[in-house]
Structure formats: structure tokens, C-alpha cells
Structure 1
């Protein structure tokens, strides 16, 4: 009666003395040596505010996972000198630092166009990115670990994505190259 397609997936067969949850726990203990060699890291995950937002913008996130009390605010800022729009995600400590509201190069004060809790922004916008949204509480051991270890934000991806490869690329590099080409034409 056992489906032969599943036969190839069997790693170990153990005899247990109990039924139900106790039997299941006993089977895990008896199989611990075999299970320790099983790799489960698929690389199809992302965590942290910056990496999760990058993956979200790429459409790579299948399930967005956010702590229900995530205390990060999304600021839409405008540089009054260049009319450039800048989006920053700041926690309370960062928001209290005035340097986050000034242009790093010119020290021009950035004008706040919009201010919204990132949690609310996710709740309103997640469908536009083609993903589902799941909230996590920190009242369980796993939820608490997610909040402490991953900053309370992460995602399960549609496909494997190496976020480190995107750290080297920046918009500034693209603009610098195009400026050099324009200088040659003078």
C-alpha cells in the first residue's frame, strides 16, 4: 500500500514503543544520527530590512515574514536642492539622529514627504510584489529567535538568490559611468 515513489525518500526505519506524539518523538531520537547528515538549507530565504526589501523589489519573495510589532518607520524624503526622492527605513534610534535627515554630501536638510510604519506599508503594499504576508509573534521560542536573530523581517524566496552579489552594485556606479561618457562629448 506504500507508494513506491516515496520509497526512494526513506532514510531510516525504526521501531517505536509508543504511538502518537510520544512515538513520534522516540522516532526522532532514534533517527537523530541519520537526520544530522541531511542538508536542508535551500538558500531560498532572505532576512534583514535592506536585503528583504531588495528581494521584494525584484519580485523574488514568495512569503514575506514580519514581526507583528516591528518598530521601523518608512520615510519618503525629498532633497530640496536636487528634488531627488529618497526612501529610508529607520528605527527609533536612527530617527532621533538628525544626520539621517540630511544629505551626506551637501548637508542639505531632507524634507519629509511621507512617514508610515513599515509594518503598515507592508500590509497595504505586499500584494503588489506578488507575495503573501505572514506575521510572527515573539511570544514563542521560534518567534523570539526570529526577532532577535533576523531583525523581525525576512522572507521565503521563489528561487535561490545570493544577496551578497547585489551589495557591490549601486546606482552611483551606473551614474558615474554615464557621466564620464557625457564628459567626452564636450
Structure 2
């Protein structure tokens, strides 16, 4: 007796023992497995789309911390993919001599290296102005860059591969962009200015 359009949307039929709020909570508990599978399917589809862009070498993809942050700042990321367990902190560092601010994204090993908290040119110390988990910072600010953000877990084969091989952060771009070309241009400008 169900409308055929609604029948196609049914994921699972459950038998519950209670009515009201208690029955509703029981239904949620019983359907948790099927709902988590729905999220895994969505995750697999998004990562599959990223892998397809990489395989076809369309230039409409980015991965790794530095390249993804550059693409984000340029506003070219359509879908930002972030590993839920991404263990990287975003530091805002202030040079105590020149008062210039520098932003660094460091993992646990890099945080232990004291040279990451010094200016390489002047050997002056950096003062930590702000420290925040990169995942947390991205979840607060991704809308400012005009993209959507999706979390990736390592519960599927694709998700695990994304987190291990690609560093747990990447994105699908709106159009083809060669991020490395912007590195070379900025390096060339720096050399020409000296």
C-alpha cells in the first residue's frame, strides 16, 4: 500500500518492542548498522570520484597538506575530503624579532623538531600565537572557501587507502589547476626580487 516512490527509499524494515520515544530509540539502535553502511557507500563514492580524477590525470584533484591548503586558499576546491583521524595541528607562529606571522601545519614528529619553531633565515624563535587541530580548524572555516567538506574514515578499503597513501587530506577541484606551477611562480618572483 506504500507509494512506489517511497518504497524505493526503504533501507530496512524493523520490528520494535516499544512505542513512542522508547520505540524510536530502539529503531535507531537497530538501524545503526544499515545507516553506517550508507555513510560508507557515500564515502566510497566520493573517494572513487577522486581516484577517477587521478587515474584520468584531469588535473581536477589535489592531495597532501600543502597542496590542499593552497587550493583551498585559491577557492578552487569543490569537495574537501578530510580523514577523521587526521593528526595534524595548525600553528600560527609569530616571529619575535620581526613580528611577522607564519602558519605551519605540523604532525607529531614535526612538532618534536625544534627547528620548525625557528625562522630559518634569522634563526630567531617563533612564539606560538595559536594552536588548533587542523580538522577542527577546517570544520569551522571550510565554508569561507566556498566548498563542501566530507569526512573520510578508514573503515572501508578506499578510506584506508586515502588516509594512508594521500595523507588523509585532499580535494576534488572545480576545474583543472596546476598547484605546482604556483609554487614555481612564487619561487621565481622571490628570486627576481632579490
Instruction: Report if TM-score (shorter chain) is over 0.5.
Output: yes
CA distance in 2, matches of 1:88, 1:176: 25
Report what 2:151 is aligned to.
135
- Name the structure where helix makes up a greater proportion of residues: 2
Which has the greater radius of gyration? 1
Q: Would you say 1:99 and 2:115 are equivalent positions?
A: yes
**Distance in 2, Cα, partners of 1:61 & 1:156:** 6
TM-score (norm 2): 0.68
Superposed CA offset, 1:42-85 (max 9, x none): 32110000000000000000010000010000000000111110
Larger CA deviation: 152-161 vs 165-174: 165-174
Give the aligned partner of residue 120 of structure 1: 136
Q: How many angstroms does 1:144 deviate by?
A: 0.5
2:182 pairs with one of 151, 166, 169? 166
Q: What do the CA deviations read for 1:76-118 (whole angstroms, capped 9, x no partner)? A: 0000111110000000000011110011011111000000000
1:144 is aligned to 160
Q: 1:174 to 1:57 in 2, by over 3 A?
A: same
Q: Structure 2: any 5+ residue segments left out of the alignment?
A: 1-54
Match of 2:69 in 1: 53
> What is the number of residues matched between the two proteins?
140
What is the match of residue 8 of structure 2? Answer: none
1:81-100 alignment, distance < 5 Å:
81-100=97-116
State the alpha-carbon separation in 1 of the partners of residues 84 and 165 from structure 2: 15
SS in 2 for 1:169: helix
3-state SS of 2:185 partner: coil
CA–CA distance in 2 between the matches of 1:173 and 1:80?
26
Show the counterpart of 1:62.
Answer: 78
* 3-state SS of 1:86 partner: strand
What runs of 5+ residues in structure 1 fail to find an aligned partner?
Answer: 1-38, 181-186
